[in-house]
Amino acid sequence: MSLPAESPTVVVKIGSSSVTTDGLINRGAVAKLASEVAHVKRSGASVVIVTSGAIAAGLHILGKDRTATGKNEALLRAASAVGQPSVMRAFESALAEQDLLAGQILLAPTDFMLRRRYLKSRGTLRELLALGVVPVINENDAIADDEIRFGDNDRLAALVAHLIEADLLVLLTDTDGLFTADPRTNEDASLIEEIVAIDHELEAAAGGPGSDSARGGMASKLAAAKIATWSGVETVIARAARENVLPAAVDGPTSEGGVGTRFLPRSGRLPARKLWIAFALPASGQVEVDDGARNALIDGGRSLLAAGVRAVHGSFQPDDAVEVIDSDGVVFAKGQIRWSNEDLTAHAGKRTTDIPAGLDDEVIHRDGLVVLPA
């Protein structure tokens, strides 16, 4: 896929390891990115930056050691509040050197989950881009809900790319892209230059989705690429330190090769709420359905009713995300449940007319259900 010849919209995400070094703002890395953003904008593109680094910078300012903080969420939120101004000042200054104006945006998951806030966020970003401003985005960690958060800025960047209907998402990291194996331990590992579809084998090679050790690592970037490509957004994972990495990612592959790993987009775009359910909400349990219900969900675009439920696994409450599995245990869908596991266990297999008053007719409404690729 090639980007539009005129005025493509690009979201570029740079990680904490590039923005900070031992808690200090890496002004050289920020200046490099700002210069490349200016280059891309001169070619007619609009650019949004998603940056990490506020917590790392804040901990340094506060004289705290990250390894000693553990999961002290209150301290991490406070560190974000202290570090965010330093990160923003660095970007503001570096972009100003390129005669560009920066605009700070702090986003929370509810900005994507609630329709009104979703539209407000999109409107603000579109207006900033129309004014020629470079939005600089981070998660609003200072007031983040421990139970509902993006988890990492790779995922945030992918959701932003969906929000503004970007043409390209560039995830800058400290490696050249996705390899066939870990290049640090396997000398035969080779760079994968183009990926048409993300499958379980790729996810396993990247370290598996959702593991603690993967936060901000290659697994989270692969998850972000999955979100973006499902949004119809081409995605590139590349080394932040590479010279002219952003212009090269925007220009696309040449006769001399490409830059990093490029993920081709799907033809359709999922609505924002379904993207959030599919990729951002952790599954709290599983609902096993019969073949009739499976066919109705996949082929008929129907809601899941209690009559089609065979078994319930795990503990969950209304509005939690659950995986939907077939009789062989294969996950084929994910949705936001309307029943608790206790209610569903008690009434699994029953017709709607036999359901007690007070329970929704739909166990999972079709608007909150995402059929996953085979």
Per-residue pLDDT of the chain (374 residues; tens, 9 = 90+): 456 656 899 999 998 889 999 889 999 999 999 999 999 999 999 999 999 999 999 999 999 987 767 678 889 889 999 999 999 999 999 999 999 999 999 998 878 777 788 889 999 999 999 999 999 999 888 876 654 456 678 989 999 999 999 999 999 998 899 888 777 788 888 888 999 887 767 776 666 443 333 344 788 888 889 889 988 899 999 999 999 999 999 998 875 667 999 999 987 777 777 877 887 677 899 999 999 999 999 998 999 999 999 999 999 999 999 999 999 999 999 999 999 999 999 999 999 999 999 999 999 999 999 998 65
The C-alpha atoms of residue 292 and residue 309 are separated, in whole angstroms, by 10
The C-alpha atoms of residue 215 and residue 229 are separated, in whole angstroms, by 20
**Among 33, 37, 35, residue whose Cα is nearest residue 45:** 37
User: DSSP state, 340?
Assistant: -
The CATH-assigned architecture of domain 9-273 is: 3-Layer(aba) Sandwich (3.40)
* pLDDT at residue 284, rounded to an integer: 92
Q: Supply 94's token pair.
A: 């570096």
The C-alpha atoms of residue 97 and residue 249 are separated, in whole angstroms, by 23
Side chain identity at residue 261, one-letter code: T
The C-alpha atoms of residue 217 and residue 203 are separated, in whole angstroms, by 12
* pLDDT at residue 2, rounded to an integer: 56
The C-alpha atoms of residue 313 and residue 284 are separated, in whole angstroms, by 9
Q: What are phi and psi of 312, to 5 degrees?
A: -125, 135
Q: Where are the domains of the chain?
A: 9-273, 282-371
Contact 324, 333 (CB under 8 A): yes
The C-alpha atoms of residue 171 and residue 107 are separated, in whole angstroms, by 18
The C-alpha atoms of residue 287 and residue 169 are separated, in whole angstroms, by 34
The C-alpha atoms of residue 95 and residue 51 are separated, in whole angstroms, by 14
Q: Supply 357's token pair.
A: 């008053």
DSSP helix/strand/coil, 285: strand
Side chain identity at residue 284, one-letter code: S
**Among 162, 119, 112, residue whose Cα is nearest residue 270:** 162
The CATH-assigned architecture of domain 282-371 is: Roll (2.30)
The C-alpha atoms of residue 163 and residue 113 are separated, in whole angstroms, by 11
DSSP letters for 92-135: HHHHHHTT--EEEEEE-THHHHSHHHHHHHHHHHHHHHHTT-EE
